[in-house]
């Protein structure tokens, strides 16, 4: 227990450049205070003491703005940065060294009983305002972009962005957990592909109009045939774009 509390305390200096001294961290970091309350409430919850675990959780919510159910299982070295509005459900499981920002919800999707909240692996980063809902598995080293809504399992070593959350693989790229600006924009990529497709279709329409207006001119027909190889290449590019668009619509791997 003491070792876990010390790890919770030390990780703040590694993750937050604004942490300057131990006194400030101990008294002015609601994420640490909420974890201290939770670890006490969780111990009482495990030995089936009624009422008091929920009371401690409620007091912690009033003081810190962070609501953690006493039944939630939280590993060591977890850092809840800022923390206001964070909600962690009863059957949620959070692995070691996770980083959670304000406004995050680890919740359920209905009134089902049993395991109904997500399980996070180790070194998971959950961006501000993200919602991870249901009994789903989030692998190790996963980064969830701010404002994302994750409803399905996510394998390890992936980045998830968007609503609903879409997986973007980052093979061989090491990204700092604090590097929030280095997130891919899958929506912008798909929009760019759609714009390129529209431009290509407009060019093809213009060529067909020119062919129709000069159908009796052999020179124009020959020119059109000469461009056949270029059109085939354009079609191949379109197929690749169509594949990216379809992946986006299907959830890009989720």
pLDDT of residue 106: 96
Q: Which two tokens stand for residue 17?
A: 């450049």
Q: Give the pLDDT of residue 221.
A: 45
Residue 42 tokens, joined:
């969780």
Residue 75 has, within 13 A of its CA and on its CB side, a CA count of: 16
Spatial separation of the C-alpha atoms in residues 79 and 36, rounded to whole Å: 12
Whole-angstrom Cα distance, residue 2 to residue 86? 24
Task: Show me where the domains of the chain are located.
Answer: 2-169, 186-250
| Low-confidence stretches of the chain (pLDDT beneath 70) | 169-190, 215-254
| 2-169 is a CATH 2.160.10.10 domain | yes
Tokens 């990204």 correspond to: 175
Give dist(CA 25, CA 3) in Å, integer.
17
Beta bridge mates, 131 = 105, 149
Alpha-carbon distances of 39 from 8, 45, 58, 75, 224, rounded to whole Å: 11, 10, 14, 10, 74
- Gyration radius from the chain CA atoms: 26
Contacts (Cβ under 8 Å, ≥6 apart) of 96: 75, 76, 77, 78, 122, 123
């Amino acid at each position: 227990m003491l070792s876990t509390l010390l790890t919770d305390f030390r990780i703040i200096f590694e993750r937050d450049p604004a942490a300057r001294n131990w006194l400030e961290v101990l008294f002015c970091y609601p994420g640490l205070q909420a974890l201290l309350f939770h670890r006490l409430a969780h111990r009482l919850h495990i030995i089936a003491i009624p009422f008091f675990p929920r009371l401690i959780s409620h007091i912690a919510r009033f003081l810190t703005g962070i609501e953690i159910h006493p039944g939630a299982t939280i590993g060591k070295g977890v850092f809840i940065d800022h923390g206001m509005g964070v909600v962690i459900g009863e059957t949620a499981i959070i692995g070691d060294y996770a980083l959670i920002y304000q406004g995050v919800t680890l919740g359920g999707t209905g009134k089902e009983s049993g395991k109904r909240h997500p399980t996070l692996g180790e070194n998971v980063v959950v961006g501000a305002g993200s919602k991870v809902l249901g009994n789903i598995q989030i692998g190790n080293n996963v980064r969830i972009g701010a404002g994302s809504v994750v409803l399905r399992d996510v394998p390890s070593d992936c980045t998830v962005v968007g609503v609903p959350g879409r997986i973007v693989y980052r093979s061989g790229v090491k990204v700092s957990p604090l590097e929030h600006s280095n997130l891919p924009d899958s929506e912008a990529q798909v929009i760019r592909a759609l714009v390129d497709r529209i431009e290509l279709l407009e060019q093809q329409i213009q060529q067909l109009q020119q062919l129709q207006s000069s159908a009796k001119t052999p020179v124009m027909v020959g020119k059109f045939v000469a461009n056949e190889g270029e059109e085939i290449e354009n079609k191949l590019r379109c197929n690749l774009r169509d594949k990216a668009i379809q992946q986006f619509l299907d959830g890009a791997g989720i």
